Amino acid sequence: MPYDVIAAALAEDIGAGDITTNACVPAGRRARGYFIARERMVLAGTEVLAEIYEQRGGVEDLKILRKDGDHIHEGTRVAEVIGSARTLLECERVALNFLQRLSGVATLANEFSSLVEGTNCRVLDTRKTTPGLRRLEKAAAAAGGVVNHRMGLFDAILIKNNHISAAGGVKQAVENARGSGLPIEIEVRTLNELHEALESKADHLLLDNLSPQTAEEWIRIINRRAKVELSGGINLNTVRTYAETGADFVSSGAITHSARAVDLSFRLELLP
């Protein structure tokens, strides 16, 4: 859990104190709050609620009523919290911001994964995430049914076009990377680079910005000598066509960088 991100979000919103709540609501008042879906969605981000309330204190009980990855209908209560009315009110917007954003990622991820059902292709997410929210957004993408690609620069080899230029060519880049002991994925942009990558025995080829027709031709050339990932221009309208080319994976940055926040609300009722 990225505790510092949650702390920063709370500090950004509450600052020195919630002046409206402190002015209007008596300090000892107790309440129950509900998080309610206002549209169909795939739920994600519920893990942040416990940390939000732990950091602020004043909460007696938190119940997560539906789990991440669940398909939620409009009107469904997804979580319930009991505690200080002041705490519930001051945390309301931060909690909703996380749930709406992360459930939006999960919902879009589910749309992508559903569109490739029946093919042998899986959808990957990318590193095109909101700064500071990568672990949460990738967890949300996985909840929606896509496969997490590498978490960062530290956990997998992916040789991109600028690495190739800096290393002095495809063969040199692959040769240099062998010392890592990790599987080698490399982006190829031309047929010459494709053949060089195959001769170098790269494990995974990233074919970027190809038309579905060209991708299918290149995949025939590869002939299962390496895993194949397609990227570039892949959206909800095109993902099925790309998945049917014979690729092992398609990747789309849109899953995290362009997901729409879904609609959830928070409703509060007083307790004795």
Q: Assign residue 20 the CATH number of its domain.
A: 3.90.1170.20
Q: Is 155 a catalytic residue?
A: no
Domains held by the chain: number: 2
The one catalytic residue in 30, 160, 189, 225 is 160
CB 218 within 8 A of CB 245: no
The one catalytic residue in 47, 80, 175, 208 is 208
Do residues 149 and 264 both lie within one domain?
A: no
Q: What pLDDT sits at residue 170?
A: 97
Do residues 205 and 164 both lie within one domain?
A: yes
Q: How far apart are CA 159 and CA 36, in angstroms?
A: 44
Residues 195-229: tens digit of each pLDDT:
999 999 999 999 999 999 999 999 999 999 999 99
Q: What pLDDT sits at residue 2?
A: 75
Give the range of the structural domain holding residue 46, as residue numbers without chain letter.
3-112+259-271
CB 163 within 8 A of CB 173: yes
Do residues 92 and 130 both lie within one domain?
A: no
**Model-level pTM?**
0.96
Task: Judge whether residue 3 has pLDDT over 90.
Answer: no
Closest by CA to 125, choosing from 161, 150, 102, 100, is 150
Closest by CA to 40, choosing from 110, 133, 125, 112, is 110
Rounded percentage of the chain residues whose pLDDT exceeds 90: 98
The one catalytic residue in 77, 93, 127, 225 is 93
Do residues 133 and 251 both lie within one domain?
A: yes
Q: 185: phi > 0 → left, psi -120 to 50 → alpha, else beta; which?
A: beta
Q: Is 4 a catalytic residue?
A: no
CB 80 within 8 A of CB 62: yes
Q: How far apart are CA 127 and CA 245, in angstroms?
A: 24
The one catalytic residue in 122, 128, 135, 227 is 128
